[in-house]
Amino acid sequence: MEFQEKLSNAVASGLLAIAVSLGALGSHFLKARLTNEALDSFEVGVRYLMYHALAIILINNITYIQSESKDIFVKLVLAGVFLFSGSIFLLSTKQLHGLPVKYLGPVTPTGGVLIISAWVYLTLSFLKK
């Protein structure tokens, strides 16, 4: 396994720790402080973070995928999850932190497009083989 794959596995493992922590935060602390709609949104952010961190580890450990393809996939997923889940976390908790986050509305779908692009790229990589 190349250094880049080891590094992205470590980053993904860290993201899994963050996802579990945020999930616990949501179910214990935020549950009593957010509206159901805001809490549902927060949980979507946690879910996408969790799924895609696991996906990075899975893809990095499939030996027949070229390292370059893995690298591009991981970069797209990380950028997408950062924008998608990160913006959801900030938007859904705005009643607690009071920061001006309205500008983040368009960031969420941009993150989603990057995540979709990662999966399309991986699909095309498989078809190319």
The one-digit pLDDT tens for each residue of the chain (129 residues) are 788 889 999 999 999 999 999 999 999 999 999 999 999 999 999 999 999 999 999 999 999 899 999 999 999 999 999 999 999 999 999 999 999 998 998 999 999 999 999 999 999 999 987
Cβ proximity of 86 and 47 under 8 Å: no
pLDDT of residue 2: 85
Q: What is the pLDDT of residue 68?
A: 94
Q: Measured between alpha carbons, how far is 33 from 104 in angstroms, rounded to an integer?
A: 21
pLDDT reported for residue 113: 98
* Domain positions in the chain: 3-128
Report the pLDDT value the prediction gives residue 10, as an integer from 0 to 100.
96
pTM of the model: 0.93
Close Cβ partners of 33 (under 8 Å, ≥ 6 residues apart): 95, 96
